[in-house]
Amino acid sequence: MTTLSPSDIAKKACAEMAGSFVKDGMNVGLGTGSTAVFLVDYLGQRVKDGLNIRAAATSTRTAQQARACGIEVCDLNDLGRLDITIDGADEFDRDLQLIKGGGGAHLQEKIVAAASDKMVVIADVSKAVDRLGAFPLPVEALCFGRQSTLRHLQQAVADLGYADKPITLRQKDGADVITDEGNCIFDLHMGQITDATSLAAALKSIPGVVEHGLFLRLAQAVVVGRPDGSTLVYDAADSQGVAAQIFA
Ligand code: 5RP
C-alpha cells in the first residue's frame, strides 16, 4: 500500500466527496490533473460496483484513465447536456472564479464545463486565493503566427494597466508544450488580476488566441480538501459558512 502525501490526502478526499455527488444514469464530465486522477479512480471503482454513467473526458489522458477503469467514455457530441462536471483548478476565489490550465487542458475543460448543468471544482485548500493571478494564467494559442499573438497579448495586458508582466511560452524538456488540439500555450505571469472579466474579454478578442484559463461564472461549488482528509463545500452564497476556514 502506498502512503499518500498530505497534499494527496487532501486531493483524494475532495475528489471522492465530489464523486459521491454522481448518481446512476448521469452524464458526467471528467476533469484533468492530479486531483481528477483520484476522481476517475473513485468513479471507476463505483462503476465496477454497478454505477451506470456515461462520461465525457477533458483530455486524452483522462479518457485513457477512465476507459482503463471501466468507465464508458463518449464523444461529447453524442451526450448532449452533461449533468455534472467535476474538475480541478489551479486557483479559486470567493466569487468562484478560477484559473485553470496548469495541465494544459483548459480548452476542452471549458467546453465540457460549459456543456454541463453544474460544474463542481475539486481543489486542495492551498488553491484558495483572495485574488487570482499568482498562478501564471495559461492562454492556448495557435502555433501559426504565435510571435504576433504574443505581441498582442503583451499589448492587451499593458493596455489594462498591468505593467511589466512576463509572458512565457510553455516548454517541457526543452520542447514546446503542444495541447491535444495541436496548439501552444503562453503563461501570463500576472501576479494579481484586478479585474478578471475585462482581462478575459481582452484576451478572447486577440486573433490566434484559442482559449484562456480564466473560468468565470462556470463553477457552482468547490469541494475543498484538507491535508487531514476532511472536506468543506464552498458555494457562492457560502451556504455552509466555511469561507473563513478557506480564505486567509
Ligand atoms: C488542467 C487543469 C487542472 O485541473 C489544474 O491544473 C489542477 O490540476 P491539479 O489537480 O493537478 O492541481 O486545469 O488543465
Can 181 be counted among the known catalytic residues?
no
Output the CA–CA distances (angstroms, integers) from residue 166 to 137, 173, 205, in the order listed: 11, 21, 20
What pLDDT is recorded for position 30? 98
pLDDT at 233 over 90: yes
- Cα 104 to ligand 1 centroid, rounded to whole Å: 8
Average pLDDT over residues 171-194: 97
- Cα 62 to ligand 1 centroid, rounded to whole Å: 12
Distance CA 170, CA 190 (A): 15
List pLDDT tens digits, range 104-153. 999 999 999 999 999 999 999 999 999 999 999 999 999 999 999 999 99
* Pair 43, 22: CB distance under 8 Å: yes
- The one-letter code for the residue type at 115 is A
What pLDDT is recorded for position 248? 75
Under CATH, which architecture does the 137-210 domain have?
2-Layer Sandwich (3.30)
CATH number for the region 6-128+217-246 comes to: 3.40.50.1360
**Is ligand 1 within 6 A of the CB of residue 29?**
no
pLDDT at 4 over 90: yes
* Pair 132, 193: CB distance under 8 Å: yes
- Of ligand 1's listed atoms, the one at least distance from the Cα of 104 is 14
3-state secondary structure of 240: coil
- Assess whether the region 6-128+217-246 and the region 137-210 belong to the same CATH fold: no
3-state secondary structure of 244: helix
- Of ligand 1's listed atoms, the one at least distance from the Cα of 213 is 13
Cβ partners under 8 Å of residue 23, min gap 6: none
**Is ligand 1 within 6 A of the CB of residue 44?**
no
By the 10 Å C-beta count (0-12 exposed, 13-18 middle, 19+ buried), 131 is classed as: middle
Average pLDDT over residues 89-105: 98
- Cα 242 to ligand 1 centroid, rounded to whole Å: 23
What pLDDT is recorded for position 102? 98
List pLDDT tens digits, range 26-67. 999 999 999 999 999 999 999 999 999 999 999 999 999 999
C-alpha cell at 107: 480548452
Q: Of the candidates 80, 87, 35, which has an alpha carbon nearest to the alpha carbon of residue 58?
A: 87
Q: Please state the domain extents for the chain.
A: 6-128+217-246, 137-210
pLDDT at 1 over 90: no
**Is ligand 1 within 6 A of the CB of residue 89?**
yes
What pLDDT is recorded for position 187? 98
The full 3-state SS of 14-72, as one line of letters, equals HHHHHHCCCCCCCEEEECCCHHHHHHHHHHHHHHHCCCCCEEEECCHHHHHHHHHCCCE
Which of 16, 109, 140, 211 does the annotation list as catalytic?
109
What pLDDT is recorded for position 2? 82
What pLDDT is recorded for position 10? 98
